[in-house]
Structure 1
Amino acid sequence: MELITGQRFKQTRKYIRAIIMISAMAFLLLFLFLFSILIYAKILGPPPIAVPQSTIYYSDNNRVIGESSHGQKRYWEKLEVISPHLINATIAVEDRQFFTHHGFDLKRIAGAIVADIRAMSKVQGASTITQQYARSLFLENDKTWSRKLNEAFYTIRLELNYSKEEILEGYLNTIYYGHGAYGVQAASQYYFGKNAKDLSLAEASMLAGIPKGPTLYSPLENFDRAKNRQQIVLTSMIKKKFITNKQANEASSNSLLFKGKHLIVQNHTAPYFQDAVKQALKSQLQLDERTIELGGLRVYTTLNERQQQIAEKSFATIISADSTIQGALVAMNPETGAVQALVGGRDYQTSPFNRATQAVRQPGSTIKPLLYYAALENGYTPSTMLKSEKTTFNYNHDQSTYTPSNYNHQYANDEITLAQAIALSDNIYAVKTLFYLGLDSFIHTIHRFGITTEMKSVPSLALGTSGIKAIEMVNSYSILANGGKRVTPIFIKKVENAQGEVIFEQQDVDEQVLDADQAFVMTQMLTGVFDEKLNGYAKVTGNSIRSKLTRTYAGKSGSTSTDSWMIGYTPKLVSGVWIGYDKGNKLEKPVEKGYAKKIWADFMENSVSNQPVQEFKETNNVTGVYIDPESGKLATPDCLGARLTYFVTGTEPKEFCSSHGKDGEPIVEEIVPLEKKKPWYKRIFKLGE
């Protein structure tokens, strides 16, 4: 009997030892498996936590003008600028042990298992904030074992590679709150019309209850259910000692005002401009489409909202609503190249084709300032005389002829000055100048003005028959306006990524590409377009809008059978308007030919109305003298139409006009630099003397 007992005891010890050995091996294997997972997760490093976020566009005064969201509103906010009430409410209701566990709340998991077994169904969840974050970042919501395992692995990777604060920040910025709002900022704006940092305890506790079931607990869908959920959140916050009973009661009794509206609406402000910004993001920053649309960028643009509204209103009020004619406008700061307003067409919804940046149209006589600048560099002055008469030009080794004509076939049939040729837009003078300079020389000058469009090497190039984009034409005038410094059209001042890091910032470029003195002489001649003193065989081309202008402008109009232009500037603003039909139909009606000038004048006058009057500041090496417009010589007191004209010092005329009085009697009036002249009312009423 004792023998049997001893044998059984020995066998029992063997079994126990075997169980211990197997358990130890199983534990060791489990330990090695888990350790391997941890090592593998660490080797893989931090998982990318970028999620689709709305890219937001701002105007030049940092007001939101649009966003790209594709139905999902997402804005990333740093943890420190999120309301502490919302942070505490989320932790209390979603994961009370968040700061103490390592991704999995084992106690909560065990409790959930027991509850599910008792109810014989899944009645209680045990996902931590980290698990929910992993699920929202990398996984679908299907309930398969493979998804659960992947979720666990991503949870481990997040916990190993990110701090608790980073995980919490990511969770709050990615969780879905219903109605297309992802993250606390989008949700705060949608439900309460405010930023996440400004949420009260009542608002935060209501918001924190929604992610459990965005449809079930939305206060806009079912207020009673949302209110009950809010009470659960407040109770959880009491248990966690985030708030007192008194604070909870006050929050529960507070009446909440719901907005139910996303604050940012896409493409309602300057849609053509926003398209140009997106194109700049591709070409300048080399960003792909997905990054631009869903990268959570903050794009700070150059758009001046006031000027944009003025531009759009000018088109709407001046062009008849039933007209099918199209148009474009570009306004720039000549000192920086910043595009401050842009109209690419009359109706973006009907046609998103951007006529300001994409259409190539004949610029007509607006090309002449570039031609005459080249002439100034090659010996011309404002007093250079050429004969305006019907002329046939031979070219291509006398194999071809070209016979241009003036508007309405009007000619001086006499010599006129360069200053008057510009003001009257004499075509014969322009073509004669082109033949003097040579086609290659003129094309080279065009490229110096920043125009990259290919030019046709033909005599009619002097009259703007080779197509150019509107934005390039306006930019070329900017170079004249700023005294000859290179600028390029700029749409973007700064770009930040989703983490708030600056990935692009526009840098100023200071490069002199034109002679500053000749640029000023050219500018001063362009003011003559609006000066009736330069009337001759025809009226100055700016005569129709001259009465609408209240300050000094430099500018030039241009027209072909299919295109009408007006481009002009002040020292601080350059703008250009193009009018025409997309299919190149002829502009038959006189009113259509006048649209460009009227829109330009209306835009410029209203845009600068809130700015002090500024004259063009002469450069150091120019001299201003009074010139008789007809003879181009120094004016005498008998020359009633004498006009102050600037020349590069040393090139001004030395002879006096003899056509209106005695030769050699100059106008006795001190030439005061433009910026130093007294205001008109002081000059008239002798104030301050």
Structure 2
Amino acid sequence: MNKFLAVSVLSGALAAGLVIPFTGLAELGTEKVAESVDNLPQELKTDPVAVRSRIFAGDGTLIATMFEQHRVPVRLSQVSQIMRQAMVAIEDSRFYSHGALDAKGTLRALVRNQTGGEVQQGGSSITQQYVKMSLVEKARTAEERHAATAVTYQRKLTELRYAVALEKELSKDEILERYLNLANFGDGAYGVQAAAGHYFRTKAKDLTLPQAALLAGLVKNPTGYDPTNNLKRAQDRRNVVIRRMLELGVISLAQANSALRTPVIDLAKVRKVPNGCAGSRYPFYCEYVVSMLLDNPALGRSVKDREHYLKTGGLTVLTSIDPRIQAAAQASIDEHTKSGDSAIAAITVVEPGTGVVKAMVQSRTYGKGRNETAYNYNVEKSYAGGYGGFQNGSTMKAFVLAAAIQKGLPLDYRINSPAQIDLSGKKFTTCTGTTRDPDYRPQNSTKSGNLTMIEAAKASTNTYFLQLSQRTGLCAPATIAADLGMQNAQTLQPLDQVVSFTLGVGYVTPLMLSNAYATFAARGKYCRPFLITSVLDKSAKPVKIPGPLCRQAIAPEVADGVNRVLSAVMEPGGTGGRLNFGNWDLAGKTGTIQDNRAVWYAGYAPNLAAAAVVADANLPYTNLMHRHTLDGRDIADPTGSGTAGPLWQTAMQGALKGMPLRRFVAPNPRIVKGAVKELPPVNGMRPDEATNVLRRAGFEVTVADERVDSPETEGTVAYTDPRSRDGAAEGSLITLHLSGGD
């Protein structure tokens, strides 16, 4: 008997208003329907409602909103009473007095539908509508979406059974709250709070009668009644809602007439919420942050799952970007570049000691149009939009400096550095053996002579640093560079240990280089670049993210020595001397690659580090002097200091403004003088004899190709480099200069 009644009621309900013709249901037979009733589910399991996620800058300002459906859930108490009344009035006026099924409404719909010969009026309650919306929302595939909307009696029976169970579990207010948060209100707005902001730039709690009536009317047909699509249809529908509210006694005649006279909407005030990074203030930075989020297993098992969670999980993502410093870096780009330039410029700013990425800018704007790009020139290629870096020239000399100081070479370590040097076939040790270049004759573009480490850094003397890297070996500077985060930005493989390592190797990014130089500023403390400082779920609970990762990569005293040497670069007469400003302690290094395809300036204060690059970003790369422009003018003489340097200077000057003045720590005397040991005197000895003596003392030995004038016997040692009186660090390479006689 109970089953008979259930079948009877369900059959009547389905035939009445649940979009299934009565004759179609009757053909199934009572037994078939009864079997379906036996198999009905007992509980509606819903997915969490899709909620937008937001990405914020370090100061709390909004960077971007991510969503599949723009939705901001609110409690029912945060929805105006008139909005609740409007929704109930038009969709289910007896909502608070009936159960899951409105028998009177169903009967009324049955009579009208059968009289008219077709489905003219539905009988679904708000609870039933919420069940249907939930099932559609839960669908992930086309098949699941079809099943959730198919016109079948099985689906309608299922929905009704779910509704019955839901009414036992939740109060009417709880159901209405869920309904208002889940409903589609058209034009990309989901949920009443997002709809209020979208159409009226207000909140759900402040909605007025005419506004509430418009929104309530939209739910039946979000596209058809969308005022941005058809203002007349939207007004007609809104007025239907107002009249229904008057009919039910919810509002007075005066209220109704006033609402009917009110303009439907001011289309100029409709607020589209940008979705994703393309509409962000910082699109390139935003996309890089998103790529890191999609790499985080805490957001899901697969990239697809993580992307879905990011767009539906209501996450609050706080990032490292500092809008003030970002603005300073952008101002530098704006001052020194033009949108139509054929060369590109990019700058990244990092905080020493934390790895916090404070700014990331570039000269080409985000987009697919002319002079726009989707490439981020600041980051590695492994990220989908990452360009993958540029060759960085002599900025690599800093790592050879660090290796030399770490080895114990003094800051006044002298090497005879001619304008050109023949290194063809010369042996350079690596981490795995040795390497040679069969035909390599590098030359200087600046000062030559018998220079100290400081003098050579100041002038960026190539032949000095090549010989210095021969003395340190390539393993030590390559290891230091790797420890400071330097790697090939195209492949993420270690930088090649080649003879020309100190003059630039592989492809690196402004992010890598600025962060590596920040390590020197932080007295050897390396921190992995840190962009995402916290992620909270929609319940404000922390989501696990990679935290700061810092370690002492090089000894503080070694970093102090590097800072002293690179500070000289920015002194008068140094390659970066024109870039000095204020009373800041500044250090830096120029970088120009072969054929001038890219120029760099990387430098730092104790507070901030930055790297700026100007490059040809087109394939095949060409010399910047060849038909390339920057700031709307031809690049006549591209240099690290003269072309990239001003970008670095303007950005850093603005970024450091207002920050406390800090100083580099002076290197201790041991670093300045070096950890030298006595060098055995070998003048006048045969080369093999001298080599044995020096190797027993702990030194490496090589013999110069050309002989020198000397009173010593021809073929014996005339002198060593370094000289015996100066000593040398243990393991240093000692060059024997043989006498050619008087």
- TM-score > 0.5 by shorter chain: yes
Q: Residue type matched to 1:614 in 2?
A: L
Distance 1:384 1:114, change over 3 A: same
Match status 1:324 vs 2:342: yes
Counterpart residue number, 1:56: 54
In structure 1, distance between residues paired with 2:288 and 2:672: 45
Check whether the contact 1:328–1:578 (CA below 8 A) recurs between aligned residues.
yes
What is the aligned length?
A: 592
Partner of 1:355: 377
Residue 450 of structure 2: aligned partner? 414
TM-fit CA distance, 1:365: 1.4
Correspondence for 1:6: none
Contact 2:602-2:648 at 8 Å conserved across structures: yes
Q: Distance in 2 between matches of 1:502 and 1:130?
A: 34
Whether the 8 Å CA contact 2:589–2:601 is kept in 1: the answer is: yes
The aligned residue for residue 668 of structure 2 is: 648
Find the counterpart in structure 2 of residue 684 from structure 1. Answer: none
2:215 — aligned with what? 207
Q: 1:262 to 1:478 in 2, by over 3 A?
A: same
Q: Is the 8 A contact 2:339 2:363 kept in 1?
A: no
Q: Distance in 2 between matches of 1:244 and 1:377?
A: 86
Q: How many angstroms apart in 2 are the aligned matches of 1:402 and 1:379? A: 31
In the TM superposition, residue 39 of structure 1 has moved relative to its aligned partner by: 8.9
Which of residues 580, 587, 591 is equivalent to 2:624?
Answer: 587
1:98-119 deviations in Å (ceiling 9; x for gaps): 4565533333222322343455
Q: Which of these residues, 421, 440, 449, is aligned with residue 484 of structure 2?
A: 449
Question: Is contact 1:481-1:570 (8 Å) kept?
Answer: yes
Equivalent position of 1:623 in the other structure: none
Matched residue SS, 2:543 = strand
Q: CA deviation at 1:445?
A: 1.3
223-232 vs 553-562, greater mean Cα deviation: 223-232
2:529 maps to 1:489: yes
Residue 192 of structure 1 is matched in structure 2 by 200
Q: 1:601 aligns with which of 642, 649, 652?
A: 649
Change (3 A) 1:256 1:50: closer
Instruction: Give the equivalent residue in structure 2 for 1:346.
Output: 364
Q: 2:586 aligns with which of 538, 553, 562?
A: 553
Alignment partners' CA distance in 2, 1:542 and 1:339: 24
Q: Do structure 1's residue 295 and structure 2's residue 295 form an aligned pair?
A: no
Q: Does the residue aligned with 2:526 lie in a helix, a strand or coil?
A: coil
Q: Is the 8 A contact 1:551 1:613 kept in 2?
A: no
Q: Residues 193-225 of structure 1: CA distance to partner in whole angstroms, max 9, x if unpaired?
A: 234344345433432232123345444555566
Q: How does 1:231-242 map to 2 (within 5 A)?
A: 233=241
**Matching residue within 497, 507, 511 for 1:471:** 511
Q: CA deviation at 1:425?
A: 1.5
Structure 1, unpaired ranges of 5+: 1-22, 619-645, 655-689
Other structure's SS at 2:157 match: helix
1:277 to 289, 294, 316: 289
8 Å CA contact 2:405, 2:671 repeated in 1: no
8 Å Cα contact 1:189/1:262 also seen in 2: no
Q: Taking structure 1 as reference, are residues 471 and 201 closer, same or farther at Cα in structure 2, changes over 3 Å only?
A: same
- Is the partner of 2:528 in helix, strand or coil? coil
Q: Name the CA shift for 1:517/1:651 in 2 (closer, same or farther; >3 Å).
A: closer
1:106-505 aligned at under 5 Å gives the runs 106-139=103-136, 141=149, 143-156=151-164, 158-159=166-167, 167-220=175-228, 226-227=234-235, 229-230=237-238, 233=241, 258=266, 259-264=269-274, 266=276, 267-268=278-279, 269-285=281-297, 287=300, 288-289=303-304, 291-292=306-307, 294-296=311-313, 297-343=315-361, 346-350=364-368, 351-357=373-379, 358=381, 359-389=388-418, 390-393=420-423, 394-395=426-427, 400=437, 403=440, 405-408=442-445, 410-411=447-448, 413-416=449-452, 418-453=453-488, 454-497=494-537, 501-504=541-544
CA distance in 2, matches of 1:573, 1:398: 37
Label 1:29 to 1:241 Cα distance change in 2 as closer, same or farther (>3 A): closer
Question: Does 190-199 or 307-316 show the bigger shift?
Answer: 307-316
Q: Does the 8 Å contact 2:355/2:528 carry over to 1?
A: yes
In 1: Cα distance, 2:179 partner to 2:474 partner: 65
Distance in 2 between the 1:516 and 1:298 partners? 37
Tell me, in whole angstroms, the C-alpha distance in 1 between the residues paired with 2:457 and 2:170: 68
Q: Tell me, in whole angstroms, the C-alpha distance in 2 between the residues paired with 1:37 and 1:160.
A: 18
Report the alpha carbon displacement of residue 427 of structure 1 after superposing the two structures with TM. Answer: 1.9
Shift of 1:132: 1.8
Which position in structure 2 is the counterpart of 1:662?
Answer: none
Asked whether the equivalents of residues 83 and 212 of structure 2 are also in contact (C-alpha less than 8 Å), the reply is yes
Deviation for aligned residue 1:80: 5.0
Q: Is the 8 A contact 2:353 2:526 kept in 1?
A: no
- Alpha-carbon offset, residue 564 of structure 1: 0.9
1:461 positional shift: 0.8
Contact 1:564 1:596 in 2 (8 A): yes
Instruction: Note closer, same or farther for the CA distance 1:155–1:303 as it changes in structure 2 (3 Å cut).
Output: farther
8 Å Cα contact 1:382/1:647 also seen in 2: no
Deviates further, 322-331 or 24-33:
24-33
2:100 corresponding residue in structure 1:
103
Aligned position for 1:614: 661
Which consecutive residues of structure 2, in runs of 5 or more, have no partner in the other structure?
10-30, 137-147, 382-387, 429-433, 489-493, 626-634, 675-742
**Counterpart Cα distance in 1 of 2:289 and 2:256:** 48
Cα deviation for residue 481 of structure 1 reads 2.2
* Residue type at the aligned position of 1:542: G
SS at match of 1:414: strand
Q: Distance in 2 between matches of 1:192 and 1:80?
A: 20
Question: Partner letter of residue 274 of structure 2?
Answer: I
Q: Is the 8 A contact 1:177 1:211 kept in 2?
A: yes
Match of 1:73 among 70, 87, 99: 70
Q: Which residue of 2 aligns with 1:46?
A: 45
Per-residue deviation at 1:519? 2.2
AA at the equivalent of 1:392: D
What is the CA–CA distance in structure 2 between the aligned matches of 1:135 and 1:164, rounded to whole Å? 17
CA distance in structure 2 between the aligned counterparts of 1:402 and 1:592, rounded to whole angstroms: 27
Partner of 1:513: 553
SS of equivalent to 2:500: helix
In structure 2, how many angstroms separate the alpha carbons of the residues matched to 1:573 and 1:343?
16
Quote the Cα distance in structure 2 between the aligned partners of 1:80 and 1:550.
Answer: 58
Shift of 1:391: 3.5
Distance 1:29 1:265, change over 3 A: closer
How many angstroms does 1:306 deviate by? 3.9
| SS of equivalent residue, structure 1 residue 48 | coil
In structure 2, do the counterparts of structure 1 residues 465 and 26 end up closer, same or farther at CA, with 3 Å as the change threshold?
Answer: closer
Calculate the TM-score normalised by the size of structure 2.
0.70
CA pair 346-101 structure 1, distance change in 2 beyond 3 A: same
1:653–1:479 Cα change, 3 Å: closer
Instruction: Supply the AA of the counterpart residue of 1:366.
Output: T
Which one-letter code corresponds to 2:522 in the other structure?
N
Letter in 1 for 2:579: I
Quickly say closer, same or farther: Cα 1:300–1:649, change in 2 above 3 A.
same
Q: 1:523 aligns with which of 563, 581, 584?
A: 563
Aligned-residue CA RMSD in angstroms? 3.7
CA contact (8 A) 1:565 1:578 kept: yes
Q: Which amino acid aligns with 1:502?
A: P
Identity over aligned residues, as a percent? 25
Deviates more, 1:193-202 or 1:329-338: 193-202
**Per-residue deviation, 1:565:** 1.0
**Cα separation, 2, equivalents of 1:238 and 1:517:** 82
What amino acid is aligned across from residue 555 of structure 1 in structure 2?
G
Partner SS, residue 612 of structure 1: coil
Q: In structure 2, the residue corresponding to 1:62 is in which secondary structure?
A: coil
Equivalent positions of 1:601-680 (< 5 A) are 601-609=649-657, 611-618=658-665, 646-652=666-672
